[in-house]
Amino acid sequence: MKIKNKNGKEKLGKKGVFFTLISIMIVATLFLWFNGRQYASNVDTIPVTSERISRANDFVNDVNTHYIDTFSTVATYTALSAIITYEKERGAFLSYDDLQCALKTVPAYGIMLNGTWTDQSSDIYFTTTPNLAQNPNPQSNFISFGGQNSASQSFSPSSSGNLQSATFSVKWAMPPWGNIIVELRDSACGKPGPNVIDSAVITSFIDFLPHTVTAIFSSNPYLVSGREYYFVFSSTGSQSSGVRIDKGNAYPQGQAYKTGTYPISFYLDSKLSSPIIGNNYLSAKLQELANLSKDIYFYNTSFYIIDYSIYQDNQSGPWAVIAEANVNYTVNTTIAAWLANISVKSKVPIAGIEDPYIAIKTNGLYTNKIVNSFEGITTDYLTNSKLWGYGNFTNMLKYKAYKPDPNAPNYLMRFYDNMSASSCCGIESLIYFDDYNVNMSYIDYCYWSNICPGSQPGLNVSLYTVDELSIPPFNFLIEPYHAVQYQISQNTTFYTNDSTGWA
């Protein structure tokens, strides 16, 4: 076909723009192809999802390997310092049990438990909504509390769930009337723990009849099956024994207790002349972390400290303590969630912390800080290499340093005045003051305990003076075992077999 223009002249037709058409088609194809590629590469949902999960995984890894370890180290060091100060300011050692409890609750919550709980013969009546645990059938057999007295009932949920409320039966024994406070606490050291999970106030009634009352826990705390919790009852408005709470059946999963101590727990800082712990306890730091993760990552993070302990063993050696935190946590990012129980062990050096033993034994007159080196040499090196001698011995006295010794008590034993041997972690220092002249070895743990290696408690041990050192009034004495350990036997002179020591 030929196409003609207006003047009747023949046109070239489609053949005339053949290459142009082809080129436009090629370019159009290229456009479509590139646009398609660009569209595909901008599908952001997949990288964003994977990136968010990857970031959350990094956060969880940091929780496992870094955050808890860091917080736990500082919490432990601070807690030890605070407990020493508490002992010093009280002028008395804690008992073994109280110390073990404090080593759990102070680094974890900054709180010390107070008082002794006595077992009651039968258990308190209670039911819960939903039915997570119960001790039904009130018996009209009451336990009294109020004022400075508190009662408690431990229980263990048979299933996990959010607790909405708990029901009890109470009556007044005597006015004045007041509100009844019911706390839900965790458990620590076999008694109501430091962590008040929730609390409820029951408005008082003005008669002497039994009333079934319901404590509503507004935060609906999540209780875990098998874990131990406590209801703790108190009333500030009443006199002692003003309120009575009804007992029920014998409850195999818990026990009722009563204490005459008030309060049953306190922030340790509140008992010190100046605060030491501040917000450096583990639960506060973990809460800060959870809040930040919510603010910047939009994660719902929660932590629960199942257990906390501080101890010394072969792993810690004499110059550190092991802080072991068992923590349950959840990190929920909405597209993925992590739920884990982890145990984090932190090795916390004790260098620089005070020795409570010297401070309390001298009524705060002298304080020693744990130092294990002088003039660039560690006492471990001197002990292991048998390089002790008169010069290093006098330097140890001068620098108030500590040396390892398997017959000495370890650092933690010094908190509760136990001077028996710790083969892994024993440390000793030399008495450097002349306020108390007694016929006893001037190795710190021998000095007050009258127990020295090679002697039986109450039995005599031979004592020697040290040349050019034992100059009255500083009558430094040493017994044969330590004279050999420090390699100064040739610098000693027999003094007496009568080691009278401290009364």
List residues near another protein by CB under 8 A: 10, 12, 15-20, 22-24, 26-27, 30-31, 34-35, 37-38, 41-42, 47, 51, 55, 58-59, 62, 66-67, 70-71, 73-74, 77-78, 81, 280, 285, 288-289, 292-293, 295-297, 348-349, 351-352
CA dist 454 and 208 (Å) reads: 68
Q: Report residue 395 as tokens.
A: 């330097």
Cβ–Cβ under 8 Å, residues 250 and 114 = no
CA dist 229 and 306 (Å) reads: 12
Which H helix or E strand runs over 446?
helix 444-449
Return the number of the residue (86 or 168) whose C-beta is nearest another protein.
86
Cβ–Cβ under 8 Å, residues 414 and 359 = no
Q: Report residue 14 as tokens.
A: 């489609």
Return the number of the residue (66 or 398) whose C-beta is nearest another protein.
66
CA dist 321 and 353 (Å) reads: 12
Smallest gap from residue 15 Cβ to another protein (A)? 8
Pairing state between β 165-172 and 180-188: unpaired
Cβ–Cβ under 8 Å, residues 177 and 237 = yes
- Quick one: which of 257, 265, 261 has its CA closest to 143? 257
Smallest gap from residue 401 Cβ to another protein (A)? 19
CA dist 10 and 4 (Å) reads: 4
Q: How far does CA 374 lie from the centroid of its chain?
A: 32
Return the number of the residue (213 or 325) whose C-beta is nearest another protein.
325
Smallest gap from residue 73 Cβ to another protein (A)? 6
Smallest gap from residue 379 Cβ to another protein (A)? 19
Return the number of the residue (42 or 493) whose C-beta is nearest another protein.
42
Q: Report residue 240 as tokens.
A: 């002692």
Return the number of the residue (185 or 285) whose C-beta is nearest another protein.
285
Pairing state between β 256-259 and 150-155: antiparallel
Smallest gap from residue 382 Cβ to another protein (A)? 24
Return the number of the residue (79 or 440) whose C-beta is nearest another protein.
79
CB atoms within 10 A of CB 50: 11
Return the number of the residue (81 or 487) whose C-beta is nearest another protein.
81
CA dist 281 and 286 (Å) reads: 9
Smallest gap from residue 454 Cβ to another protein (A)? 36
Smallest gap from residue 327 Cβ to another protein (A)? 16
Cβ–Cβ under 8 Å, residues 305 and 71 = no
Angle at 39 between CA 37 and CA 43, to 5 degrees: 115
Smallest gap from residue 205 Cβ to another protein (A)? 48
Return the number of the residue (277 or 463) whose C-beta is nearest another protein.
277
Return the number of the residue (352 or 391) whose C-beta is nearest another protein.
352
Smallest gap from residue 165 Cβ to another protein (A)? 36
